[in-house]
Amino acid sequence: MLRHHTRDVRCKRKETMRKISNLDLKVQFTNEFLRSGGLETIRDNELLTDLINFNRNDLNTVTVRLNAFMSSILRNHITPPYFSENHISEYESFLQKSNLFDQGQIDTEEDFDKVYEQFKNIEHMLFRGQREARWRLYSTLQRFWIWDKLNETEESYLEFLQKLIQNGKEKYQGKIEDILEESHIDTINDIAILGFLQHHETPTPLLDWTYSFQNALYFGIDNIEPNPGMKEIDNYFSVYSIQEKDFGQGGMRTILDDSLKKVGDDLKIAFMRKIADDDEDFKKMKEHFEERSFFDTNRVKGSGLIRHMTRIENLINIPITYFSDNESDSNLIFSLTNSNNIKNQKGVFTWNANTFKPLEMLGNEQYDVSRTENDSEDYRFSGCYNINKKLVPYIKQQLEKDGITKEFIYPDTDLNTWHIYDESRNAST
């Protein structure tokens, strides 16, 4: 009889444990929900009683009703954030953020020092710092497109971008050419103008990244504010990282290189067909010139090709890519170092052609579209370190030792181009 009773108790306890799996996460997210105003939304008096009677150390206080309530909250964190074309969404937790990012968490000076030494001199990696870990990777123009409801006042996203670029060109072409110390047909291209405006406060479709981990840290802590800590994620800022080789199509320079190669090959084949005596002669010529470049990239700069390829009506058809002038010996230069801020910040720009999908969301969608059978289904857009805000004074001290200060990051502080945004809006006229 005693053995039967004991077995029965064990079965009940096992069943109870099964029902309240992931209890720690359920308790954490339920507490965050209640402390963030969720308590006022509960209308079920019996559920309120269950919440009052809950004892973390007594599993018997987890009623079926309470467990179902906590499970529904947990399910919200297992899926990506709520998304709408008219709403700026944010991450509620690191669990929710894990749908789109490979994450690491830094809570001690020792952990920070290890990561700092690992990344401070690394090359060919893009970094971005954001002072709130909950923020998604929206461009500034996406945010204002949604906040200002420009979809209701503008004819189209493309036409608005064309106005933005035209107004920026008319006002700042001379300044851009002075900083670059050169003026030719490719200098004032659409992406160069957008890059200049982006670094001087105008909302654009570009998102600032940098080749410097230290610079990304600076951006992550610049103007950072302490948080009440209602949610765990509120107590952290983030630094994102992407290997250049892993970024979509490899960036706009790769797209241009591929385009030039195709153009060159097409011209080469057409020329050989024209001069070959017969099919056998053509075959021999093709084999002989197969590995030889027909298109001279040394003649690209100033030819107008960059200006043509970066026209906004062409870019709008490329969902996601990035622009960089990191390879200074290449003739495929986008004239991005047209601001002293960009120079010191080692700036890179990511491009997002969508008006409302954050970069990581669009990146994951593009991966799914292009994924082959051999590619992993478990894809994450980028790496991400979530760093505790309590470490900010220590991080600031380390950066200052290495010369990463406000004066270094922002040598041009007297120029604000926000008026270009206002002048380009239909609502403002």
pLDDT in tens, 293-305: 544 555 556 656 7
Q: What is the pLDDT of residue 226?
A: 79
Q: What is the pLDDT of residue 149?
A: 94
Name the DSSP class of 234.
Answer: G
Q: What is the pLDDT of residue 22?
A: 87
Distance in angstroms (rounded) separating the CA atoms of residues 161 and 205: 9
For 275, other C-beta atoms within 10 Å of its C-beta total 9
pTM over 0.75: yes
Task: Write out the two tokens for 332.
Answer: 């495929």
Q: What is the pLDDT of residue 177?
A: 86
Q: Is 335 left (phi over 0), alpha (psi -120 to 50) or beta?
A: left
Which residues sit opposite 207 in a β-bridge? 350
DSSP secondary structure, 388-399, as one string: EGGGHHHHHHHH
Give residue-wise pLDDT tens across range 355-413: 999 999 988 888 777 777 777 777 788 899 999 999 999 999 999 999 999 998 888 77
Strand 320-323 and strand 347-352: the pairing is antiparallel
Q: Which amino acid is at 56?
A: R
Which residues, 6+ apart, have CB-to-CB distance to 160 below 8 Å? 150, 154, 424, 425
Nearest to 345 by CA among 184, 229, 210: 210
Q: Which amino acid is at 328?
A: S
Q: What is the pLDDT of residue 202?
A: 96
Q: What is the pLDDT of residue 57?
A: 86
- Mean pLDDT, 10 residues at a time, the chain of 429 residues: 37 49 90 90 92 90 92 91 91 94 96 96 92 96 95 93 96 88 79 92 94 95 83 95 71 53 58 70 67 52 72 88 73 74 83 93 82 74 94 96 91 86 80
Q: What is the pLDDT of residue 330?
A: 59
Give residue-wise pLDDT tens across range 256-303: 555 555 545 665 666 567 666 778 877 776 665 565 554 455 555 665
